[in-house]
Structure 1
Amino acid sequence: MTGTRFRNKGQFTTPLSIAALGLVWMIAAALTADPQILPGPFQLIAPMRQELASGELLYHLGSTLRRVFWAFVLAMTFGLILGLVMGRFPRVDRWLDPWLVIFLNLPALVLIVLCYLWIGLTETAAILAVTLNKIPNVATVVREGARALDPELDAMARVYRLPAWVRLRHVVLPQLAPFVAAAARSGVAVIWKIVLVVEFLGRSSGVGFQIHLYFQLFDVTMVLVYALSFIGVMLLVEWVLLQPWERRVRRWRNA
């Protein structure tokens, strides 16, 4: 009963928090009293409708979402494999740990610039730069999960001579699921920010490209239109897909 009451309160907390943020924004815009510096929330409606009607907003949102999707899939796949191997095999972990530390501390901007210099201003370079920036973070989280696997469950699976794939599917991955979910949630938040930087520096489409364009024109309104449109899409992904998935994979811990 208490849990249900808490969830019901949580359902109202999010919209109230966003409404409070909007109120702060309106007060700041009123105090500034200059739409060219900080337009109010309602002043973005007309230009956003115009961009939607022209198709520009949807086109650039689609380009950015495509890059986010491929970078996310590649980073999660390779990061999961790397983290699992490092967590399960101490010798491999000792060998690769310095590499992981170096890439964790390598600035994202450096990798982006190097990928563009080595490969060119191409879609492959853009997605590769974002993927390389995120793999170390995913690998680190998954490695900690692999280290925390229950050895007794693993021993039971070996006693029953379960095939490697079955052991991975029914013993290892269920225990890793909360760590993978955490890596996925943080991954989406980091990846889309890096994608915007990649587009800002070297692409001819996407939200980052449009922000760069309107930055050069000193158009704060259009910068906010594109930024908030994409933030809205990513919040929708977070609330509709990632958070429910994370709650689902954590249910067994509360059972």
Structure 2
Amino acid sequence: MMKRSHFQERVAAVGFALALVGLWQLLATLQWISPLFFPSPGRTLGALWQQAADGRLWEPLLATVERMVWGWLLASVLGVLLGALIAGSLLARRLLDPLLEFMRPLPASAIIPIAILAFGLSSTMSLAVIAFGSIWPVLLASVQGFGAVDERLREVSAVMRMSAWSRFMKIDLPSAMPGILAGARVGLAVALILAVVTEMQASLTGIGQNILLAQRSFKTPDLYAGVVLLGVIGFITSTVIQTAENHVLRWRGSAT
């Protein structure tokens, strides 16, 4: 019954997406908005196909995905390590809580000028901005997750004379993993956004630069093609990390 319900939800979601595409096509056909600014799905997908066919798509696509992935990985690793250190020390929590609350709501795009001054118009600048923006969901989730580990489990580890590393890998990390993975999923979406923004700001090769150049030259099918491509990247990466999360946390289903 649950499988049937899940299948029906998938069918409904696909049907709704197709209905939106149909509405888009209808509005474009009626030309309620100038075709110059509102190309049809056919023109948009045609532009995307042409870019793929003549090879103009692949270098920007790989550049954007590479920046997104490396920035996200750096943020995730640092976020987990810092989160574990902060959660494991009451003094560190008290000292760093005000700083974290100050830095957390700071828009990552606001540090782009500072990053440009420090690293120039380079991929290193983009990586730094992506890592800065992506680290907060992982860091805050890690602090909360490691801080919520059952104290009785830690007492058991002390009785068993487990080393600090063994306790971290066998008790602390598995207990905090649900929150960490949820934060990592949010951080991945932030990483994609910042990859595009930094490419636009610093004229770096990537989908963001392609979208900006298409906008400046009024090539709206190419512009919309870039936006659609970003949506596809976001959907694929979200699906991949969701699948990995379900695999890593499969013990939760058996425990309930």
Partner of 1:20: 19
State TM-score, norm by structure 2: 0.92
- CA RMSD across the alignment: 1.7
Do structure 1's residue 3 and structure 2's residue 37 form an aligned pair? no
Paired residue secondary structure (1:105): coil
1:84 aligns with 2:98: no
SS of structure 1 residue aligned to 2:57 = helix
Query: How far apart, in 2, do the equivalents of 1:246 and 1:142 lie?
Result: 15
Deviation at 1:118, TM superposition (A): 2.2
Number of the residue aligned with 1:63: 63
- Do structure 1's residue 232 and structure 2's residue 232 form an aligned pair? yes
1:67-86: CA deviations, max 9, x gaps?
Answer: 00110110001111111222
Distance in 1 between residues matched to 2:154 and 2:163, nearest whole Å: 12
Equivalence map 1:1-255=2 (5 Å) = 2-31=1-30, 32=32, 34-239=34-239, 241-254=240-253, 255=255
Identity %: 27
Paired residue total: 253
Q: Is the 8 A contact 1:79 1:136 kept in 2?
A: yes
Is the 1:30–1:40 Cα contact (8 Å) retained in structure 2?
Answer: yes
- Per mean C-alpha deviation after superposition, the further-off stretch among 224-233 and 7-16 is 7-16
Distance 1:178 1:113 in 2: 35
In structure 2, runs of 5+ residues without a counterpart are none
Give the alignment's TM-score, normalised by structure 1: 0.92
Shift of 1:33: 5.1
Q: Within 2, Cα distance between the matches of 1:226 and 1:88?
A: 44
Paired letter, 1:52 = A
CA contact (8 A) 1:214 1:222 kept: yes
Residues 181-213 of structure 1 show CA distances to partners (whole Å, capped at 9, x for unaligned) of 101111111110111100000033001111111
Q: Which portions of structure 1, spanning 4 or more consecutive aligned residues, are displaced by more than 6 angstroms?
A: none
Aligned-partner residue type, residue 130 of structure 1: I
Q: How far did residue 147 of structure 1 move?
A: 1.8
State the Cα deviation string for residues 149-207 of structure 1 (Å, max 9, x = none). 11111211111111222211111111111111101111111110111100000033001
For the residues of structure 1 that align with 2:174 and 2:236, how far apart are their CA atoms? 26
Unaligned ranges ≥5, structure 1: none
**For residues 5 and 245 of structure 2, what CA distance do their matches in structure 1 show?**
18
Between the aligned partners of 1:127 and 1:137, the Cα distance in structure 2 is 17
